[in-house]
Each structure stands twice: as structure tokens, then as C-alpha cells.
Amino acid sequence: MTADTNIQQVPGQPVAQTSYGPVRGTDDGRVKTWKGIRYAAAPVGELRWRAPVPPAPSSEVMDATAFGPVSPQPRSPIPMGLGTRADEDCLFLNVWAPSDVEPGDARPVMVWVHGGAYIFGSGSQPLYDGTVLAGGSDVVVVTINYRLGALGFLDFSSDGFDTNIALRDVLAALRWVQDNIAGFGGDPDRVTLFGESAGAAITTTLMAVPAAAGLFSRAIAQSAPATSIYDKARSAAVSRQFLDRLGMTAAQAHRAPVQALIDASQELFDHVPTATPGLLAFAPTVDGELVPDYPVTLARAGKTHPVPLLIGTNKNEAALFRFMRSPLMPIAPKAVRTMFDEIANDQPGLQLPTAEEVSLAYPARLARTRSLGVASDVGFRMPTLWFAEGHSAVAPVYLYRFDWATPVFKAIRLGAAHATELPYVWGNLVGGPRDVTFKLGGLKTGEELSQRVRARWTAFATTGDPNVPIGQPQWAPYRSDDRATLVIDRDDRVVDDLDRQIRRAWGNEVLSFR
């Protein structure tokens, strides 16, 4: 697909043709950028809690030089810098491509789904600026917004609304990519869906969604809480709690001011993990329509899309939530015990680790330190291993663990906490003068590590294999006989069966947060 030859081409302002009309971006000599491209009609009015619909076409050249609004959301406990204002009309995406790219060049494409506990974040966060990733790696990078919190994850299907709105938004964005990315120099047959945290769980969920077949050919899941997906009964219960806080029916909430929804979302978001440790207020739903079953269950049954997968977690995931004093993860010993009791009541046949197994798997002197390890593994590492083992039967899987921590992060006991790998994946290592990440050193090592990570991630997007000829360890696919795992640190290494001890403690029966 090429731009209309009748459209005036201005130096530094590249025009790309989409199926909904031409869009004009910018070119700084390193990357071409198009920001704020609408991929679906405004999801407002009657379209609240409805599946996204295509935007209206236009023959006029649309300005794509500024980010579009992001999904309305509460204030995050961590300053995220959303990049622009929030508005319910939020279904926009952004594209970065190398400056030398031309329509039809068929470069690999990487589509990013941001994290944020299903309630925070955007595709326009400065951390996700695609300049370094696209400009230095010969890939086309796409970041997307999707509806968050109550707007994207509540289930009002009993009142005639659609389920899994946020998943449907991501699917609509992927369809836009299939239809239009060739006009930006991308290859629709080489699309890698990648995300972190909630975005990674959306990625693993879509790997088990029939409607996603053919929309992406590879996947990368960074710190995926792959079991954070709930059944219809739980989703309906959360929706009722939400309406109770509003004092409205679903029909009334459909017409309510968006700020009222955001305020109730905040209350529910804070309440649920406090009342029931290990659970979130908002998550995808096994609705039997879009999502037929739990993604980990489908992966272990060999029913995920047979696309290569790169997946892993960080060594100290739960340390971030301790640092934030957040209830999102049960990091105190009492909260962990409460979580185990809730799981035992909900799934009485499930074998949970005994006190002796916990002591062997987490040999720490303090109970609180052991609880951090338990929280990290129940929330992130074990779901990742369960999904990886299942999916490895249908496609190559590359498993990693990110262990690198800067001197500052070690000093404040963050270590390789949740989300600390993100700057290295994107190549955006210093987030401004207030960023303390490298205040005690480590920047040179961090830059070298970022180059290695970006080389592997983009090689995977290009070929489906993350190995690159840079004198680094050979990263073999994950198999049950050796369970090869890449440990990403100051010096990377491949370790066989890195997770042997915790696998023995948790076993092979999947723990599902229903």
C-alpha cells in the first residue's frame, strides 16, 4: 500500500496511506513517526462497553504528529507520565519506523501492549518511545491504547453489553496493523505481539483466543500474570460491587459521567486485593465467547496458536510492590497465608506447597523474605513456567529470567523488581534528571545490556529465533529434558532447569485465580 501520489509530500513530514485515509507524521532523520492514529471509532455514548467499531474514512490528510488521548484512569501510585491527556475517546495507536523505510519494504513489526494492572498506563508513555528500538534495529514499532479499568474489563453481558472490551480493543488494533502496516514499511506476515505485566497477560490470553488467529506470528510476554483471568461468576460479582459503589444499575452507569466510573474503579481497585490477597479488581474474563477457557489450561492442552514465544520474568518481581507498599501482591506472611487459605477453599483438590517445601524452595532467614519469593512465583514465575511448558509442545519457546539490578536498586532492596527490564528493552535508560536508576553507577553496563536485549528481541521479531551472532551464549528453546533458561545479567548465561526447586514445590497442577 502506498501513499496517494496526489497528496503533497513535504520533507520531514511523511504521509502514509491507511484504509481510513492518509496520515501525516514527522521524520527526524533517524525515525519516521506517526502519533495518534485512530484505529477505532470513539467508544463513547452507545459504544461504551461495546466492541470497537472501525472509524469513519476520510479523504483529508489527518495530522499524526501528536499523541491521541489515553484511557481515563486513576492517578497511578508510580508516576508514569502518560504522554498526553485522558479521554474516553482513546483508541489510538502510534508508529515508529526507520527513516529509510518506504511503503512495501516489509520490515518486521512489533506491537506493544502496555502494562499497568489493567487500570493504568498508555501507549504514549515516554518509556515506550520507539525511537531507539525502531531506529537502531530495523523494525517498525507500534504502541497502542486500550480501554482500562471499568471501561475495559467489567462484565455487564447480562445487561446486553459486550465482554472483554479491552481484549477486543487490542484485536481491533491488530486488525488495523494487518490492513495498514505495509503502508508504513511493515510486514503484516511478521507481527510480534509483545507486552509487559498486564500487557503480557493480554498477550498470553490472545494466544488462546480463536479470533486472534493470524493476527500475529510471534509473541513476547514479559512478567505475565498469565493466571490472572477470572470466570464469569467472579467477574459478575466484581461488576455488582462496582455498581453498588456507584449506586446505579448497569443501564444508568452506561450513561454516567466517566469520572464517576473512574472514582468507583479506584475504590474497587484498592479494596479487592486487600480483602482477597492475590486477586485484582480488573482482569480478562473466561466468557465462553471470546475467551473459551483459561489460557494456561489451553496452553497445556496444546490449543494455543502455534507461534514462537519468548517469555520470562524478573528475579525479584514482588520487591516493587513492597517498595510501593501496595496491596496488589500479598507480600506479608499473613497475607500469603490468607491467600493460601482462599485458594484451598476455592480449589480444594489443589496441592499447595507445604511449610517444609516453602522452606526448601525459599531458603531465607526471615519469613517476610520468603513471602516475597512466594508472591513473585505465585503471581508471575509459576504461571510463566506452566504456560511455557504447555506452549512448547506446539511452537518454540524461549524462557528467560532478568536478574540485572543497578547499584541503586540493590541499595534500596529493589533488585531486579517488576518492570525494571523495560528501559533496557526500549533503550530509554535515563528517564530525566529525577531518575535515580544510575545515580550510583552502572550506566555503561546498562547500555551494553540494553544492546543485547534489544538485539535478541528484534532478532526474534525478525526470524522467530532470539539468537544473534554477538558472541553471546546460545539460547536454546525450552524443552522438558533440559529446560534451558537465559539469565540476563551483567554477563548473560544459559542455565538448565533454573527453576527446579520451585517447580518441585508448586508441582504441575495449575493454580487458577478464579
> What residue numbers bound the domain in which 363 lies?
31-430+474-506
For residue 471, give the 3-state DSSP assignment: coil
User: Number of structural domains, the chain?
Assistant: 1
The verdict on residue 125 lying in a domain is: yes
Catalytic residue list contains 359: no
> Is the pLDDT score of 176 beyond 90?
yes
Average pLDDT, the chain: 91
pLDDT of residue 84: 85
Look up the CATH number of the domain holding residue 225.
Answer: 3.40.50.1820
CA 447/CA 450 separation, integer angstroms: 5
Contact predicate 258/170, CB 8 Å: no
Catalytic residue list contains 197: yes
Spatial neighbors of 291 by CB under 8 A, at least 6 apart, are: 164, 167, 205, 208, 209, 229, 284, 285
Q: Tens of pLDDT along 15-54? A: 999 999 999 999 999 999 999 999 999 999 999 999 999 9
pLDDT of residue 505: 84
> Is the pLDDT score of 78 beyond 90?
no
The verdict on residue 236 lying in a domain is: yes
Catalytic residue list contains 317: yes
The closest alpha carbon to 400, from 384, 416, 415, belongs to 384
Question: What would the DSSP string read from start to end of 233-270?
Answer: HHHHHHHHHHHHHHT--HHHHHTS-HHHHHHHHHHHHH
Share of the chain above pLDDT 90, in %: 76
The closest alpha carbon to 219, from 113, 333, 290, belongs to 113
> Is the pLDDT score of 366 beyond 70?
no
The closest alpha carbon to 268, from 249, 248, 241, 250, belongs to 241
The closest alpha carbon to 150, from 242, 80, 227, 267, belongs to 242
The verdict on residue 457 lying in a domain is: no
Q: Tens of pLDDT along 376-431? A: 888 899 999 999 999 999 999 999 999 999 999 999 999 999 999 999 999 999 98
Share of the chain above pLDDT 70, in %: 90
Active-site pick, 317, 389, 391, 512 = 317
pLDDT of residue 331: 66
Residue with cell 485484582: 280
Q: Taking residues 177-195, what's their average pLDDT?
A: 98
Active-site pick, 265, 418, 421, 512 = 418
Q: Tens of pLDDT along 267-311? A: 999 999 888 877 899 999 999 999 999 999 999 999 999 999 999
The verdict on residue 330 lying in a domain is: yes
The verdict on residue 8 lying in a domain is: no
pLDDT of residue 2: 40
Q: Taking residues 434-461, what's their average pLDDT?
A: 95
The verdict on residue 7 lying in a domain is: no
Model-level pTM? 0.94
The verdict on residue 356 lying in a domain is: yes
Reported as a pLDDT band with limits 50, 70 and 90, residue 313 is very high
Active-site pick, 71, 122, 157, 197 = 197
CA 418/CA 389 separation, integer angstroms: 22
Contact predicate 151/72, CB 8 Å: yes
Reported as a pLDDT band with limits 50, 70 and 90, residue 341 is low
More confident residue, 293 or 10: 293
The verdict on residue 185 lying in a domain is: yes
